[in-house]
Amino acid sequence: MTDRRQAKGEPSEAEAIAGAKQGDAEAFEFLYHLHKRRVYSLCLRMTANTAEAEDLTQEAFLQLFRKIGTFRGESAFSTWLHRMAVNVVLMHLRRKGLAVVSLDETPEGDEDAPKKDFGADDLTLSGSIDRLQLQAAVQRLPPGYRTIFVLHDVEGYEHNEIADLVGCSIGNSKSQLHKARMKLREFLKTSRAEKAGKP
Amino acid sequence: MTCAELRRELPELLEGDPSAKLQAHLVGCGACSELVRNLETIIREARSLQACEEPSPRVWNSIEIALRQEGLIRQPEPKGRAAFVPSLARRWGVAAWLVPSAALVLVGAFLIVGRQPRVEQLPGAESRARVQVTSRVDVTDQQLLEQLALDAPLMKAAYEKELNNVNEYIRDAQNLVDENPNDEGARQSLMDAYGQKAVIYQLALDRSLP
């Protein structure tokens, strides 16, 4: 990807960072377009709100550009930006009073109890999942579950990193993730059953 | 291993390699193996949600405005123009900067004299007025070049090139102001562009200098 861009005469990311440090407008714009989808998608997944996601994307990039003079290249630029975006979103969720991580037990009760789909004649969630259905299911998750699922399964953060970011224990992060996945499975099976016309 | 025991160990199972006991249970239990398959599918497909959405153009527009307002974006230099004034200053010394404000007044006078009064505030009327202003400026430049052709024909081509460059700079700066009327940086850029044109006029009019 980088080679193709440079073959077309476009700057490399390192050149754009150097240009942005000098206040070059095109360099800022280049960096924005390079990373906008990743940052915006993260914000959208975690807030489930388009307007909020755009505002948070703007805030994340502005924070990055204000601090770009301090970037020394010890870590990947994308990692630095991504971590900044995650912090911006988490601060926003905390300000709104939303539980960043749920501390409650499973709302439906004891998760060791037999599940209603145990041996039930439900449609199987086999094969691939429609991406739009998965997006819709993620948006339906409670905020705490959604945060952990997005950070771990979508964005690839490890549990120890998530624990640092959101201020919970590693065990809590694992527990919330499992509950989020189970909830998504439930939503997707329900959605598939509705599509098939079953009651 | 029972189904309940498997569900308790499920988080660890999905993160790493399943134990032999667990695998044996999965072979013999359709419900649990379906559950594991479903969850693995969700985990696998989750990555497809990464970087799949595009923000609207207004996000970058807002970022750019904020960066300019905070002074984090350096003002753009006109192409080929940055070296022009300093090089002439080196050639002509102090004379190159003789009363640039007077030259500004000179250019401004041409513009004011040539500008049609705005009768309406409709967008069409504004653009027509701007076209008329631009036309008047071009006519004034032509008059200057015609005079140069009489007084200093060898320099006419060089001044014509510089006038074309600075007019392009003015047009770019004007477009920026039109797009961002509240942007102080854009207005300053337009003033700088006119300032450079004033210097060109001053130099062209004072042709007695080498």
What is the per-residue pLDDT across B143-177, written as a single tens digit (0 to 9) for each?
Answer: 888 887 777 666 677 678 778 877 877 887 787 78
Shortest Cα distance, chain A CAs vs residue B176, angstroms: 13
Q: CA B129 to CA B63: how far, in whole Å?
A: 32
pLDDT of residue A193: 75
pLDDT of residue B207: 47
What is the per-residue pLDDT across A172-195, written as a single tens digit (0 to 9) for each?
Answer: 999 999 999 999 999 998 877 777
Walk me through the domains of chain A, giving residue ranges and CATH numbers: 2-95 (1.10.1740.10), 131-196 (1.10.10.10)
Q: Could A37 and B37 be called an inter-chain contact, meaning their C-beta atoms sit closer than 8 Å?
A: no
- Over residues A102-117, the mean pLDDT reads 44
Is B51 near chain A, with CB under 8 Å?
Answer: yes
Task: Enumerate helices (H) and strands (E) in chain B, giving the number of each.
Answer: 9, 0
The mean predicted confidence, pLDDT, of chain A is 82
A79-108 as b/e: b if 16+ CB within 10 A: ebbbebbbebbbebbeeeeeebbbeeeeee
Q: If you count them, how many residues does chain B have? A: 210
pLDDT of residue B131: 45
- Tally the C-alpha atoms within 13 A of residue B2's C-alpha that lie toward its C-beta: 6
Residues B172, B145 contacting (CB under 8 angstroms): no
| Lowest mean pLDDT segment, chosen from A1-10, A23-32, A117-126, B67-76 | A117-126
Would you say residue A8 has pLDDT above 70? no
Provide the ipTM. Answer: 0.79
Question: Per-residue DSSP letters for B131-187?
Answer: HHHHHHHHHHHHHHHHHHHHH-HHHHHHHHHHHHHHHHHHHHHHHHHHH-TT-HHHH
Q: Could you state, in order of their start, the residue ranges of all structural domains in chain B?
A: 3-49, 79-205
pLDDT of residue B138: 65
Shortest Cα distance, chain A CAs vs residue B55, angstroms: 6
CA nearest A162: which of A151, A177, A178?
A: A151
Read off the amino acid at residue A157.
Y
Q: CA A146 to CA A179: how far, in whole Å?
A: 10
pLDDT of residue A4: 54
Q: How far is CA A126 from CA A123, A130, A186, B15, B36, in A?
A: 9, 11, 13, 20, 11
**CA angle at residue A48 from A44 to A54, to 5 degrees?**
40
Question: Closest to A40 (Cβ–Cβ): which among B15, B39, B55?
Answer: B55
Q: Which long-range contacts (CB under 8 A, 24 or more apart) does B124-132 make?
A: B130/B174
pTM over 0.90: no
Is B2 near chain A, with CB under 8 Å?
Answer: no
Shortest Cα distance, chain A CAs vs residue B178, angstroms: 18
CA nearest B204: which of B146, B122, B165, B137?
A: B146
DSSP 8-class letter at B19 = P
What is the per-residue pLDDT across A45-56, written as a single tens digit (0 to 9) for each?
Answer: 999 899 999 999
Share of chain A above pLDDT 90, in %: 54
Place of tokens 């631009």: B134
pLDDT of residue B79: 52
Is A41 near chain B, with CB under 8 Å?
Answer: yes
SS3 content of chain B, % helix, strand, coil (to 5): 75, 0, 25
Helix H segments across chain A? 2-7, 13-21, 25-47, 50-66, 77-95, 131-140, 143-149, 159-166, 170-196
pLDDT of residue B114: 43
Would you say residue A119 has pLDDT above 70? no
Question: Closest to B59 (Cβ–Cβ): which among A54, A66, A189?
Answer: A54
Classified as helix, coil or strand, B128 is helix
pLDDT of residue A39: 95
What is the per-residue pLDDT across A38-91, written as a single tens digit (0 to 9) for each?
Answer: 999 999 999 989 999 999 999 999 999 999 988 887 678 998 999 999 999 999
More confident call, B100 vs A165? A165
Place of tokens 């015609």: B146
Give the residue ranges of chain B where pLDDT is below 70. Answer: 75-139, 152-155, 158, 202-203, 206-210
Classified as helix, coil or strand, A88 is helix
Residues B139, B114 contacting (CB under 8 angstroms): yes
Shortest Cα distance, chain A CAs vs residue B100, angstroms: 28
Is A118 near chain B, with CB under 8 Å?
Answer: yes
